[in-house]
Chain A
Amino acid sequence: MLIRDNETANYSEVKGSTHLFKSVDSEIETGSNVKQTSESNYRIGKITARIPFVFEHDFKSWNIEDDLSDNRDTLKSEAKDIPTGEKLTSKNNPVKTIRNLYFQDEFITPELRTGINLLEISQNYITKSLESIQHRKRKESDEFIMQFKAFLPELFCCRTISESFGAVINAIQNALSNMKGCPLSEKQIVALHEIITGLLREPAMSFEKAVDYVSKFEDADFEVESVGVEGLLKLTEIMDEDETELIND
């Protein structure tokens, strides 16, 4: 059994930051039978593995084969113990093996690690909030949102993950701040769940994709702009008004 990269060629087509999903391929072929089965589960041969790794890397200059050859023997010895078709557990998870080999600490920034962890916790709170509001427990639902809100400042500190990550977290912070403490509606909690899930799936999504997420989020009656930008824009506009009045005078 060999360990191969999953569709390496595709990575070079992605501009800037991108996702990297590593997989074990029981058929030796390069990633051809790796399919996404749900948001974060990937089917690899007959094994379903959860792939939680996302990081930024310049794939154009990275030779995966060189990297593989250094670790091929280790990979073989660790991976051969996983019979094809066996249910994946935390003990035999090949992704863990690969994580140790390929997702070296220098690749994963502390911000990315923290960001992913905090997003998972956030997603959990929002799911609970959604369940509560669906059971007409409005106060309980709001309490879960308040707990989620407490993570936003730290999530924004993880903005080095990507510009999109920062922009999305900032939009959520502004939106919740503009709610001025009013409990969220079910429609808004669903939108919040969607945007956090999207960010968890792709913390380094393209900026265009971040725009899509925020636009959709905004449609759930959220105001994602802050008073600060409003003030700065007013100043920018006054610049020209001032000039016009100068001409008129």
Chain B
Amino acid sequence: MIKSKAFVDTAILTNRLIKFREEKKEAKDALAKYEITELPVYAIKEFKAGPLDYVKYLYNKLLETESIGLTIIALTNNFRQKNKQATSLKLIGELLEEVKTSRTNSNLKAKYGRLADEESISYDSVKLETKLLVYKAWKKRRTVTTTVVQPLSCYHEKAPCEEKNGQLSLKPNKCETDNCCLTEKLKDKRFDVTKLKVAIDKLESALKTKPENVKRQKILREINSKSNVKISNSDCRNLGDAVFALFCPVDADILTTNIKDHKPLANALGKTVVSPQQILGNTTKLTKI
């Protein structure tokens, strides 16, 4: 049974803030179905260091190349999986076509010169939109859920800023300590940590050997075996989905798009994982049960 409270993971936060159309709408609608939605600061930290960093990277790359075409070449250079490019290039093509047909004309070109040129309009449009997306996502991060919970004392939520050369910076995007504030909390949960370790061991080979599970298993083992264990920033990041399983309140569902990775961990601790599709299949608003 679906609960009335959701513990929101990074994928949902990402979809709500920087994804488009269906993914964004699905995340928004799923969140609206819950009476209480909680976002741990850990998700904000992961979001800033991961998905938001991609948007920042794109903006900086656009700034560096000063051209959409050159940015595409830079991004796809040494690409092996050519088939994956097709969808992306089709979408970019749609924008370029729209600019050509409805965002400029010969009169504007005569009056404004380069400013009305298709290439200049497309480039400036994409560049401005990307920058706006970074700032907008950051501004809205604490508004997508009803509450933000579990602050991390070693992590400072600093807003994006512009460097002297115009490039965007998301620093700091990691903890400013060599011993994460989660260390003590994780030591208190050694029994649960063991359960997670066992759950990863039991995973089918393909999942178990995924780089993220290998790294996660290593740090879980260290927490269990070393009394003086210190969790660094990279250890903290490598824990990833395990943090959500460990710190999700028992009366909440972990709301995520990534059921496959979350479920074995959450189930090992008797917690539930729900996807937006499952929630949206349920037509009534979820109230306290």
A interface residue numbers (CB < 8 A to B): 111, 152-154, 156-157, 159-160, 163, 166-167, 170-171, 173-174, 177, 207-208, 210-212, 214-215, 218, 223-242, 244-248
Contact = CB atoms under 8 A, between A and B. Distances in A.
Interface stretch (B5-13, B50-58, B179-187): B50-58
Contact of A177 (B96, B98, B111, B112): B98
Interface of B: 18, 20-21, 24, 54-55, 57-58, 61, 68, 71-72, 75-76, 79-81, 84-85, 87-96, 98, 102-105, 108, 111-112, 115-116, 121-122, 124-126, 128-133, 135-136, 139-140, 211
Nearest to A174: B129
Contact of B80 (A167, A240, A246): A246
A215 B57 contact: no
B108 A227 contact: no
Given A153-B103, A225-B129, A214 B136 contact: yes
Closest 5 CB pairs of A and B: A228-B95, A231-B91, A231-B92, A234-B88, A157-B112
Contacts of B111: 157
Nearest to B80: A242
A234 B76 CA distance: 11
Given A170-B128, A228-B95, 11 more contacts: A170-B125, A208-B135, A214-B132, A215-B139, A215-B140, A223-B21, A227-B92, A233-B55, A236-B55, A236-B58, A248-B211
Contacts of A156: 103, 121, 124-125
Contacts of A231: 87-95
A157 B54 contact: no
B107 to A, nearest CB: 9
18 contacts: A153-B102, A153-B105, A156-B121, A159-B115, A159-B124, A167-B129, A173-B103, A215-B139, A223-B21, A226-B125, A228-B68, A228-B126, A228-B129, A231-B89, A232-B58, A235-B85, A242-B81, A244-B211
A232 B139 contact: no
Given A156-B121, A177-B98, A229-B129, A211 B57 contact: no
B198 to A, nearest CB: 24
Contact of A235 (B75, B80, B103, B128): B75
Nearest to A210: B132
Which of B80, B95, B98, B116 has the most C-beta atoms of chain A within 10 angstroms of its own C-beta? B95
Contacts of B121: 156
Given A154-B108, A231-B92, A239-B75, A167 B58 contact: no
B79 A230 contact: no
Contacts of B98: 177, 226
Nearest to B130: A229
B79 to A, nearest CB: 6
Contacts of B132: 167, 170-171, 210-211, 214, 224
A232 B84 contact: no
A212 B87 CA distance: 32
Nearest to B111: A157
B126 A226 contact: yes
